[in-house]
Amino acid sequence: MAKVVAVIASTHHPFYYRASTSTGDDRPPFADEWVAKIERFRETLTRARPDVLVMVGSDHFHQLWLDNMPQFLVGKAPVYDANWYNEEREFGMPIFRVEGHEELSTHILRGGLDSGFDLAFSNELRIDHSVTCPIITLRPEADLPIVPVYTNIFAPPLPQPRRFVELGRMLRQLVESWPSDQRVAIIGTGHLSLELGGPRQFGPHGPDPEFDRKAVDWIASGDIDGCLAEVTLDSLHAPGNATHGFMDFMLMMGAAGDGVRADHVDSLDLFHTMEAYFTWYPEGEPA
C-alpha cells in the first residue's frame, strides 16, 4: 500500500513569492527571515522524498462560483494550470502548470463516496493560490503530480468544523489504502486569524493574536478535542472575518491524527496575519 510520508499544514500567504524574489529597495525588511523559515520548512518535505502530493486548499471565487458551489471537491485531471489573472495582478503570482495524478484522484473519489463523503469532482480545474502557495514554498520545482482537494471555507452555508476533521482522517485512510508503492505527502493550507475587507484588516499583526497562540498550540499538539470544543462556525467570526480558513488546518489535524505532536513547528508574526508551519512524519523522522 501507499505510504503517507509527511503531513504538512501551512498558512498560504500570496505575498511570499513577491517578497522572496524582490531585491534592493523593493525587498521588505522581513523577507530574509521569512525566506529562512520557508527554506527550513521546505526541507521537511524534501527529506520525506514524496512521489505524489495531495493538496488541500480553498478556491477564492476563481473557478467555483455561487451558482454551483461544492462543499468538498476533488480534482481529477491529468494537468492543472495554476494561478489566475487577479492573483498575478494583486500579488505578482507566477502562471505555471503541474501534472495531476488521476489514479489517486479516482481512488480518493471512489473511497470517499463509499464511506460517507459525497465528494464533488472536477475534470478541468485551474488551481489558485491556496494550492500554488505551498507549491512555491515547499516544492518550487513543481515537479510532482498532485491531487487537489478544495474545501468551502468561503461561501456560507459552510460545512461544520468536525466535517473538516473527518475529511482529513478519511484522506489519510484513503491514501494508506491505495494499492501502490508511491510515497504520498498530504499538504493543506488555511489561515489563522484573518480579516479581509473589514475594519480590522491590514493591522500590524493578525487581528487576534490570542486566537493565533491557541490555534498554534492545538495544531502543534494534535489537540483535536480541545479545538473542536471551542471552535464553531459562529465562533470563527470573532478572530477575524476570514478566519473560517482555519478549518483547513483542522482538516490537516485530522490527517495527522488525534494527539499526534507535530515534528516541525514554526511561525512568523507578519503584518496582517501570522504565518504558521507544521510537519508530521507518520512513518517516523526520515533519516
Binding footprint of other proteins on the chain (CB under 8 A): 60-62, 65-68, 84-86, 89-90, 154-157, 195-203, 237-238, 241-242, 271
- Give the Cα separation of 9 and 200 in Å (integer): 25
Distance of CA 132 to the CA centre of its chain: 10
| DSSP helix, strand, coil percent of the chain (3-state; round to 5) | 40, 20, 40
Specify whether the backbone of 257 is left (phi greater than 0), alpha (psi in -120 to 50) or beta. left
- Which of residues 34 and 277 has its CB atom nearest to other proteins in the complex? 34
- Which of residues 107 and 191 has its CB atom nearest to other proteins in the complex? 191
Supply the minimum distance, in Å, between the C-beta of residue 204 and other proteins. Answer: 10
Phi then psi for residue 274, to 5 deg, are -95, 135
Supply the minimum distance, in Å, between the C-beta of residue 128 and other proteins. Answer: 12
Supply the minimum distance, in Å, between the C-beta of residue 270 and other proteins. Answer: 12
Residues with Cβ within 8 Å of residue 251, at least 6 apart in sequence: 56, 151, 164, 165, 167, 168, 171, 188, 190
Supply the minimum distance, in Å, between the C-beta of residue 63 and other proteins. Answer: 10
- Which of residues 23 and 89 has its CB atom nearest to other proteins in the complex? 89
First-residue to last-residue Cα distance in the chain? 21
Supply the minimum distance, in Å, between the C-beta of residue 85 and other proteins. Answer: 7
- Which of residues 127 and 242 has its CB atom nearest to other proteins in the complex? 242
- Which of residues 50 and 245 has its CB atom nearest to other proteins in the complex? 245
